[in-house]
Amino acid sequence: RKEVEQDPGPFNVPEGATVAFNCTYSNSASQSFFWYRQDCRKEPKLLMSVYSSGNEDGRFTAQLNRASQYISLLIRDSKLSDSATYLCVVNNYGQNFVFGPGTRLSVLP
């Protein structure tokens, strides 16, 4: 089983739609969790950290379920500028961060 798995995508949604991404991780001892976005041929940029209590930042909501080893990201009222690849990132131990393969989102006009 891969360490971090994500929805294969791509997701093509109209502007204004709500879209949800899922991520699972294999190491139950994982410590920290993040969602990054990556535009084509650019560096990953932090979207949000994910906390056990769940957290929201504007149109973005992240949830963590440690029992199921599952992380989600919900984007409401999607904009054209949300088009990117969304990366689930997990810190297992020490300074080792594991990236998922990413899920590509295209928001269509």
Partner 1 sequence: EPEVTQTPSHQVTQMGQEVILRCVPISNHLYFYWYRQILGQKVEFLVSFYNNEISEKSEIFDDQFSVERPDGSNFTLKIRSTKLEDSAMYFCASTSQGRETQYFGPGTRLLVL
Minimum Å gap between C-beta 16 and partner 1 is 29
Minimum Å gap between C-beta 41 and partner 1 is 8
Asked if 31 is part of the footprint of partner 1 (rule: CB under 8 A), the reply reads: yes
Question: Which residue, 11 or 35, has its beta carbon nearer to partner 1?
Answer: 35
Query: What string of DSSP letters covers 45-99?
Result: EEEEEE-TT-EEETTEEEEEETTTTEEEEEE-S--GGG-EEEEEEEEEETTEEEE
Strand partners, 109: none
Minimum Å gap between C-beta 109 and partner 1 is 26
Minimum Å gap between C-beta 101 and partner 1 is 4
DSSP H or E segment with residue 35: strand 32-38
Which span sits near partner 1 by CB under 8 A: 9-17, 30-38, 58-66, 72-80?
Answer: 30-38
Is the distance from CB of 36 to CB of 29 less than 8 angstroms? no
Residues that bind partner 1 (CB under 8 A): 31-32, 34, 38, 41-46, 49, 87, 91, 94-102
